[in-house]
């Protein structure tokens, strides 16, 4: 069997996995069912499996849900048929899984990273929405695979299925990294901190769609990757009667509102694109009470990591100045981050050759990402020790944009993605 010839059941398996994950979406650090299914499948297919605390450092996670939510998600996963042995290995939200295939012959280590988490989006249930029409719409109201991570996880399992037979004459190792909590750029940092990338020479992260909307098309790399920092600011003031003695109060909501306006007035950086956005502002308890508490959630982005770092410094300066202006206390917490790691030319060349071998309908050197991705933290870790990395795209039509209630993918893209990634592995380890 070659890297482009697979069992006839593969396409059906990929569709079945994708639809199963789609029906049971799980948010970041709560992917117990998904991770347990992945770990059990890897074990069954002969991969060496590491999970939980073996592949994640608990204290390096970002914006971890409250323990009660994690416990509820674990119980929900068990009710929905998750493998109890593997759920237990995932602890309190350590939902990362890594499968390793060692050929037993010296050679480089290739890593493929896929993400598993869903979004807090309520899926459209109209019959014109394909998952609804085909009866695999989300069974968990308010949660949805609205970014294609269900397809990414299926691609990872497809690779786990076909690579053992292909690798019999290869040299080196293959790692399949199943990452939690990509949304919000929260999960990769803990896997990097745990040393998962410490032996990786070639790293490939993958996304379906984004700016590539033709099934069978491949982008060897992405550009316009924005570095980002996510910040939560909590303002604490003093409550008082708004009519009788407002002068006694210290208005936390007014401080947060001042910060919101002034954050958007930060000068844009002259060395490249920069962004700031306040996405949530909440506070107070009633119309006749001086608000003693407010929460502001924001993000900054930059064309490069240094530009993003400058924006983050400026944002925190504005936040603290607004708090001081209104005489309230403030706590600022970094809850997510990603860099702007470039896609290496040599890694793009490998993808290009693999795309030609696997029959891609169209190959482009770059396609814009436009947003941020914490796979860049993994890329940076590999590149810092001399390895090569790229973030590639596999094309699929999109009936609606990413993070939209009607988001969907063309399932025909899944076997094409598996063929591409298998060919990438062959290019490096089969030479």
pLDDT at 371 (0 to 100): 85
Structural domain of residue 268, as residue ranges?
227-338
Tokens of 92: 């309190």
The C-alpha atoms of residue 215 and residue 409 are separated, in whole angstroms, by: 9
Question: Consecutive 10-residue runs of the chain (431 residues): their mean pLDDT?
Answer: 72 97 98 98 97 97 96 97 96 97 97 98 96 97 97 98 94 98 95 97 97 96 92 97 94 97 94 94 95 97 94 97 97 94 95 96 93 93 96 96 96 97 96 71
Q: Report, in angstroms and rounded to the nearest whole number, the Rg of the chain calculated over CA atoms.
A: 23
1 domain-assigned: no
153 domain-assigned: yes
307 domain-assigned: yes
Return the ∠ at Cα 139 (arms to 135 and 140), rounded to 5°. 155
299 and 185 within one domain? no
Among residues 47, 19, 151, 197, the alpha carbon closest in space to that of 418 is found at: 151
Number of domains in the chain: 2
87 domain-assigned: yes
The C-alpha atoms of residue 160 and residue 101 are separated, in whole angstroms, by: 9
Residue where a domain stops, chosen among 268, 303, 338: 338
The C-alpha atoms of residue 135 and residue 137 are separated, in whole angstroms, by: 6
pLDDT at 201 (0 to 100): 98
Active-site residue 75, yes or no?
no
148 and 190 within one domain? yes
220 and 123 within one domain? yes
70 and 214 within one domain? yes
Q: Reduce the DSSP state of residue 283 to 3 states and report it.
A: strand
The C-alpha atoms of residue 369 and residue 96 are separated, in whole angstroms, by: 24
210 and 188 within one domain? yes
Whichever domain contains 319, its CATH number is: 3.30.70.360
**Tokens 């508490």 found at:** 293
Exactly one of 183, 303, 410, 426 is catalytic; name it: 183
Active-site residue 115, yes or no?
yes
401 domain-assigned: yes
368 and 238 within one domain? no
Residue where a domain stops, chosen among 320, 338, 356: 338
pLDDT at 224 (0 to 100): 86
160 and 102 within one domain? yes
Residue where a domain stops, chosen among 338, 360, 395: 338
CA distances from 193 to 57, 86, 114, 149, 421 (A): 6, 22, 18, 23, 26
425 domain-assigned: yes
Q: Reduce the DSSP state of residue 347 to 3 states and report it.
A: helix
Burial label for 122, CB within 10 Å (0-12, 13-18, 19+), is middle
Per the CB < 8 A criterion, the answer to whether 415 and 158 are in contact is yes
150 and 40 within one domain? yes
The H or E element spanning position 275 is strand 274-283
Per the CB < 8 A criterion, the answer to whether 318 and 290 are in contact is no
Q: How many Cβ atoms are within 10 Å of 242's Cβ, its own excluded? A: 15
56 domain-assigned: yes
Q: Which residues contact 128 (CB under 8 A, 6 or more apart)?
A: none
269 and 144 within one domain? no
Per-residue DSSP letter, 272: S
263 domain-assigned: yes
The sign of the torsion formed by the CA atoms of 218, 223, 226, 227 equals positive
**Tokens 């480089």 found at:** 108
281 and 366 within one domain? no
Among residues 67, 2, 84, 86, the alpha carbon closest in space to that of 29 is found at: 67
98 and 205 within one domain? yes
Q: How many Cβ atoms are within 10 Å of 408's Cβ, its own excluded? A: 23
Exactly one of 20, 115, 201, 411 is catalytic; name it: 115
The C-alpha atoms of residue 47 and residue 52 are separated, in whole angstroms, by: 16
In this structure, the chain runs to a length of 431
Return the ∠ at Cα 73 (arms to 72 and 78), rounded to 5°. 100
Strand partners, 298: 231, 278
100 and 134 within one domain? yes
Whichever domain contains 401, its CATH number is: 3.40.630.10
The sign of the torsion formed by the CA atoms of 362, 408, 398, 373 equals negative
């Amino acid at each position: 069997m070659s890297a482009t010839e697979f069992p006839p059941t593969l396409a059906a398996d990929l569709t079945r996995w994708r639809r199963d994950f789609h029906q049971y979406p799980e948010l970041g650090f709560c992917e117990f069912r998904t991770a347990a299914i992945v770990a059990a499948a890897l074990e069954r297919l002969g991969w060496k499996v590491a999970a939980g605390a073996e592949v994640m450092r608990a204290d390096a996670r970002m914006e971890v849900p409250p323990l009660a939510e994690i416990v509820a998600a674990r119980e929900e996963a068990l009710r929905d048929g998750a493998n109890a042995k593997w759920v237990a290995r995932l602890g309190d939200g350590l939902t990362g899984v890594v499968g390793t295939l060692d050929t037993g012959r010296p050679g480089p280590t290739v890593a493929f990273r896929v993400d598993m988490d869903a979004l807090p989006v309520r899926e459209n249930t109209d019959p014109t929405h394909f998952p609804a029409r085909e009866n695999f719409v989300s069974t968990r109201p308010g949660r949805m695979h609205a970014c294609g991570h269900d397809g990414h996880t299926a691609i990872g399992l497809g690779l786990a299925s076909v690579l053992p037979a292909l690798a019999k004459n290869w040299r080196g190792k293959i790692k399949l990294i199943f990452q939690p909590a990509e949304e919000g750029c929260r999960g990769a940092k803990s896997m990097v901190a745990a040393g998962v990338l410490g032996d990786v020479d070639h790293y490939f992260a993958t996304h379906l769609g984004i700016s590539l909307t033709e099934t069978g098309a491949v982008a060897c790399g992405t550009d316009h990757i924005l570095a980002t920092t996510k910040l939560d600011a909590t303002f604490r003031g003093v409550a008082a009667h708004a009519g009788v003695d407002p002068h006694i109060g210290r208005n936390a909501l007014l401080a947060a509102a001042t910060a919101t306006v002034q954050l958007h007035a930060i000068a844009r950086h002259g060395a490249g694109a920069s962004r700031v956005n306040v996405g949530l502002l909440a506070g107070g308890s009633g119309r006749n009470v001086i608000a003693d508490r407010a929460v502001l959630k924001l993000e900054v982005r930059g064309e490069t990591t240094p530009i993003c770092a400058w924006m983050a410094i400026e944002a925190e300066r504005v936040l603290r100045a607004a708090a001081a202006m209104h005489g309230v206390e403030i706590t600022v917490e970094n809850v997510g981050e990603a860099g702007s790691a470039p896609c290496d030319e040599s890694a793009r060349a490998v993808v290009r050759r693999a795309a030609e071998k696997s029959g891609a309908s169209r190959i482009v050197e770059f396609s814009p990402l436009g947003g941020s991705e914490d796979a860049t933290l993994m890329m940076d870790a590999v590149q810092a020790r001399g390895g090569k990395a790229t973030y590639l795209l596999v094309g699929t039509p999109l009936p609606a944009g990413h993070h939209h209630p009607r988001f969907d993918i063309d399932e025909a893209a899944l076997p094409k993605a598996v063929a591409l990634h298998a060919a990438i592995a062959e290019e490096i380890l089969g030479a």
